[in-house]
Amino acid sequence: MKKYSQKLLLITGIICSFTLSPLLAQAQRQVTNAQIAAMIEALRLAAPQTGTANDVLYTDWQIKPETLKAWSRNCLKREVTPAQFENNPTLTRQVIGCIMQRELNQQFRTTNNEIAAVRSAACWWMTGSYTGCNRGFTGSYVQKVVSFYQKERAK
């Protein structure tokens, strides 16, 4: 009986290790600084240009003022004005980097695929949703982000 219990315990341990190891590896996956930098630049390059001087969107990334406030509170623990964002590219990249690190990490854990994570994060950036950006304007935008991201990663 004792040998049977030991064998059962060993087999259970092996099964658990095979089952849990991919989950642990996936949970531990973190995006690199290079991936975050590539995503930041891809979002900047793909940002739709409205052609309107006072379109109430700020920085090269075309961000809404209320979004700037929420993100700066989240990342800096203080609110930043649109003017501060416009006039301080380092601050802008810091906050966008903080948000993209959060989003890319989440999407990497969800998809376990770099390009799928970039697609989902780009869709979220444009619409607030991780899905539904397969066609039309948002589909084209996401594809631009992916293309720019891949070029940045290749550098």
Cα torsion 77, 45, 138, 107 to 10°: value is -50
Cα separation, 63 vs 85, in Å, equals 10
pLDDT at 53: 61
pLDDT at 83: 86
Read off the pLDDT of residues 31-75 as tens digits, 9 standing for 90 and up: 999 999 999 999 999 988 766 665 556 777 888 888 888 999 999
Q: Whole-prediction pTM value?
A: 0.77
Mean pLDDT, the chain, rounded, equals: 83
Read off the pLDDT of residues 123-145 as tens digits, 9 standing for 90 and up: 999 999 999 999 999 999 999 99
* pLDDT at residue 117 is higher than 50: yes
